[in-house]
A and B are shown apart, each in its own frame.
Chain A
């Protein structure tokens, strides 16, 4: 798969639109899902997805092949999501960890949940962006911590720390919901 993506990037760099379409079909869903997980806005996420692949089209010739194509594209998506959040004034730029992520959940939301997926979705939503992104890339994309570090442009140690705290907060949130009988 990785070799296929590299071939497509090489073709895109030559101006091959069909290669761009093929790469879009291959990666559109996971990239979109990642962006939505950060922005929580399907319409804005669609626009960012579009911008990501426009940048792929424009920058394919500058792809040096030092990382996976997927990692490179997720990196573009990561940066564009940050730009979008900054424009909204929603960006938390610190790496501080909140003491408690599950601070008073919306009772109505909890009662309506009724499913494990809803618990996970809710608890992911309580995490700050850096933590949620790291967990999303690790669990949805099955990336290594090295790949996540590349996407986020931070040292591997930072990714491990983010994952560690995200996991702790996620566990606390999930167990809190189970204890309160929000199944």
Chain B
């Protein structure tokens, strides 16, 4: 095996994916070449450093966005819904549909100021009817909301995420058609403490 070939394979010796004859050839070269061993040590250090790097991914916020858009997409492009618990409003019994509408109107009545302005990211109206079972629930199993909140339209994802972490809450559902999110308390947080933090945040337009 040529010197270049060994050097090509060295990174894969560093990440532990080399096997068989290639691994044996690289091991043999390493046994004879101190410079190559030094290079391998540097590559391992680079790998360790890269793996230790933290990236602030969108997390639950991104998941909420994904679920919202998947739910809104529907139509022919979406996969068949063999195991879907979504119940379109049109298929509900009349009383169920009425209850869903009453709930949506109730939220709108309780927080009328939000109806006049769009939330951070409006979605289809059917997302406002949690009784239908539509949307998603978090893995943590939180099913009931402790707060209903509206963020200011110019709030960034980073600001919202920082606030939620600070208050010890997570998004249970939302955004609704009028931009409302429902939040659930995490185990370690208290309702009073979270309420105080949320109420005093600049990016919060209202919280109940």
**Bound-state Cα–Cα, A22 to B78, Å:** 18
Q: CB-CB < 8 A to B4: which residues of A? A: 164
Q: CB-CB < 8 A to A72: which residues of B? A: none
Contact of B55 among A16, A36, A116, A142 (CB under 8 A): A36
Q: CB-CB < 8 A to B50: which residues of A? A: 120, 124, 136, 139-140
Residues of B49-64 at the interface with A, using a CB-CB cut-off of 8 Å, are 49-53, 55-59, 62-63
In contact, A49 and B83 (Cβ under 8 angstroms): no
CB distance from B14 to the nearest CB of A (A): 7
Q: CB-CB < 8 A to B71: which residues of A? A: 17
Q: CB-CB < 8 A to B77: which residues of A? A: 58
Residues of B1-60 at the interface with A, using a CB-CB cut-off of 8 Å, are 4, 7-12, 14-17, 39, 42-43, 45-47, 49-53, 55-59
* 24 cross-chain CB contacts under 8 A: A13-B80, A14-B83, A16-B83, A17-B67, A19-B83, A20-B66, A20-B67, A28-B63, A32-B57, A36-B55, A43-B157, A46-B62, A54-B69, A54-B70, A57-B66, A57-B78, A57-B79, A117-B52, A117-B53, A139-B14, A139-B43, A140-B50, A144-B12, A174-B42
Given contacts A142-B15, A161-B8, could you give 15 more A-B pairs where the C-beta distance is less than 8 Å? A11-B83, A15-B80, A17-B84, A20-B66, A21-B139, A32-B58, A57-B79, A60-B79, A117-B53, A120-B46, A139-B50, A140-B53, A142-B16, A143-B15, A174-B46
B binding-site residues for A, Cβ under 8 Å: 4, 7-12, 14-17, 39, 42-43, 45-47, 49-53, 55-59, 62-63, 65-67, 69-71, 73, 77-84, 86, 136, 139, 157
A binding-site residues for B, Cβ under 8 Å: 11-22, 24-25, 28-29, 32-33, 36, 42-43, 46, 49-50, 53-54, 57-58, 60-61, 116-117, 120-121, 124, 135-136, 138-140, 142-145, 160-161, 163-164, 167-168, 170-171, 174
Q: Name the 5 nearest CB pairs between A and B, nearest first.
A: A15-B81, A14-B82, A32-B57, A139-B47, A160-B8
